[in-house]
Chain A
Amino acid sequence: MDEKKENGEILSPSRLAWMGFKKHKLGIIGSIMVIILILVSLFSSVVAPYDPLAMNPKDSLRAPCAKYWLGTDRFGRDQLSRLLYGTRISMEVSFGAIAIAIFLGVVIGLISGYYGGILDNIIMRLLDILFAFPLLLLALMLVAVLGPSLENLLLTIGFLYHSRFARIVRGSVLAVKEKEFIEAIRSVGARDITIILFFILPNVLSPVIVQATFNLSTAIMVEAALSFLGLGTQPPTPSWGLMISESRRFMELAPWLAVFPGLAIIFAVLGFNLMGDALRDALDPRLSQR
């Protein structure tokens, strides 16, 4: 990323943002954590010492040792390998869900904010309904009815989170669309779609990026929580939440099974939160907290 700065081709606002971001030490740490997570999830088959699904009855419930760094579960499956593969599940669900949420939210927010009027009113009141539910409970109900599975969980989180992006995008569009340069573009006869995609969208992206980073961490948390309750990833797929849930039956015999998946969740959530803080300070100075 350093080379990017040196070749000087970047426009000044993004360069400024990058300089702001660089000053944020915790943000750099957070980004490194996120990069580690992404690399691990891409290459889990390379870094994992064992097959996460391979059962090994005679090595059941082993404490952490040289052979199994983080011990084994009741089927003798290597916990380290399961955690590393769990990273992939966690990233898949959170990135997938947030991608859906961003797509829906940005489209709805752009339309609602740009056209305004009755349409805007209807859309915003519909979103209010989603905000009227405690999020986790609504997710719980939807997943329970759709049937617990990784795909349903991903779709549910994506559907529920789009409302946040829609609100933010709409707010930013309202601010941008009154600016003179939009007026100027309209006066030369640009079509609405051109104005929205090429002139408004780029100007509302930074709050979306900041929000996305924070929502990735909540999505990781929600995935883990629902899998913990048996409503997300199904066994034998290794998922952090599910591993904590499974560990509870052997807690006294094998406490390490309860500890490490939790640390993995904390690592991931912390990484995205720290990165989000720094991004917010760099991209959206109005919102920054000291």
Chain B
Amino acid sequence: MLRYICIRILSMIPILLGVSILVFATFHLVPGDVVDIMMGDEVAGDPKVLMELRKELNLDKPVYLQYLYWLWDAVRGDLGKSFTSGKPVMEEILHRLPVNVELMIIAIAFVILIGIPMGMLSAYKQFSFLDGIVRVATIMGYSIPNFWLATIVVLLGSLYFRWLPVLQYVPFSENPLENIKCMVIPGFVLGLTTLSYIVRMTRSSVLDTLRQDYVRTARAKGMTEKLVLFVHVLKNSLIPVITVLGIQIGVLIGGLVLTEEVFVLPGVGRLILLAIEQRDFMIVTGSILFIASVFVVINLIVDIVYAFLDPRITY
């Protein structure tokens, strides 16, 4: 097991290198160089100053050296400085990260707490009325664009109901209760697509498991239905569900940008959008490198959890 974990951690390195090369290359796709963008309309400024600035940013060196300098900085947590605010990109990201983490936790909590029981119930009562409703609802669920649903929720909340303190972000440290109140609905909206996939996956996985011989044996030896369901069926059905959840985390991270934008939450997603608008590519590429790295690590964790759950996987 330990060996497997070590191998998986080592295999992350080439992927992270590849990710960094792709981000670096994208940054260099921007027409002109960093200095041109930084100076904006003041390009006509003193050429000597510009030269010095280029030297300071290593722009006078060959590309591979630029990459190595950049990578070395990034590894130490220095993603450069924002063109517009002058603050370190890392600081800007870390400042907003709690919003994203909280949204993700709420979304994943919804997915697991509602999705898995609903999928199990739907499978257990296959072909019942409830099963029918769940199946239709899940098909609908992943056909609804979450940014549209978010827009509609904001519309309903602000127009017809007054129960939603919409569009007013309160930091958790200031007022935990108010904070959770304004994050729950965005979190749910964010998780809806994933929820549908998880319900579907749980349902089909549980249906598979219910047909296994060991389930029949468990019933035959007189185990109560509850025990059969929760001990034998649930545990063995969870493996494909976790795979899907792992894949869906990428979808959730992408959805964060849209959710934050509609609910006006100050997370990394809005940071990126604002930076794109201001052509602040230092922030755009820095944030994306950061998120992709986190995503790679999350995938690693999912893989390890997966290996723990499924003894059939050999390392």
Contact = CB atoms under 8 A, between A and B. Distances in A.
Interface stretch (B48-56, B226-234, B291-299): B291-299
A237 B140 CA distance: 28
A126 to B, nearest CB: 7
Given A129-B22, A134-B250, A140 B257 contact: yes
A133 B284 CA distance: 14
Interface stretch (A41-49, A80-88, A186-194, A269-277): A269-277
24 contacts: A26-B139, A125-B15, A129-B18, A133-B292, A134-B251, A134-B254, A135-B251, A136-B255, A138-B288, A144-B276, A145-B26, A145-B27, A241-B147, A247-B151, A248-B262, A251-B158, A251-B159, A258-B152, A262-B148, A266-B143, A266-B144, A270-B143, A273-B143, A289-B204
A89 to B, nearest CB: 15
B155 A269 contact: no
A173 interface: no
Given A140-B272, A289-B204, A259 B296 contact: no
Interface in A111-125: 125
B218 interface: no
Interface stretch (A5-13, A61-69, A97-105, A217-225): A217-225
B139 A273 contact: yes
A270 B196 CA distance: 13
Contacts of A155: none
Interface residues of A, number: 45
A252 B151 CA distance: 11
A228 B147 contact: yes
A145 B29 contact: yes
A244 B147 contact: yes
A51 interface: no
Interface in A261-290: 261-262, 265-266, 269-270, 273-274, 289-290
A1 interface: no
Contacts of A244: 147-148, 151
- Closest 7 pairs between A and B when the two form their complex, measured CB to CB: A136-B254, A129-B18, A262-B148, A134-B253, A289-B204, A270-B143, A134-B250
Nearest to B275: A144
B17 to A, nearest CB: 9
Given A145-B30, A262-B145, A262-B151, 6 more contacts: A128-B18, A138-B288, A145-B29, A146-B29, A221-B145, A266-B143
A8 B250 CA distance: 46
B272 A125 contact: no
Contacts of A265: 145, 148
B276 to A, nearest CB: 4
Interface in A50-98: none
Contacts of B154: 251
Interface of A: 26, 125-126, 128-129, 132-138, 140-142, 144-146, 217, 221, 224-225, 228-231, 241, 244, 247-248, 251-252, 255, 258-259, 261-262, 265-266, 269-270, 273-274, 289-290
Interface in B97-153: 126, 139-140, 142-145, 147-149, 151-152
B143 A217 contact: yes
A63 B34 CA distance: 48
Contacts of A290: 126, 204, 207
B285 interface: yes
Contacts of B29: 145-146
A225 B258 contact: yes
Interface residues of B, number: 52
B188 interface: no
A258 B285 contact: no
A140 B268 CA distance: 13
Nearest to A147: B31
A135 B250 contact: yes
Contact of A137 (B27, B281, B288): B288
Contacts of A241: 145, 147
Given A134-B295, A137-B292, A266 B145 contact: yes
B266 to A, nearest CB: 16
A273 B18 contact: no
A132 B143 contact: no
A224 B251 contact: no
A217 B154 CA distance: 25
B282 to A, nearest CB: 12
B260 to A, nearest CB: 11
Contacts of B262: 248
Contacts of B144: 262, 266
A116 B256 CA distance: 38
Nearest to B277: A230
A265 B292 CA distance: 28
A141 B254 contact: no
A184 B258 CA distance: 54
A13 B255 CA distance: 40
Contacts of B284: 141, 144-145
Given A137-B288, A262-B145, A129 B26 contact: no
B19 A228 contact: no
B90 interface: no
B145 A224 contact: yes
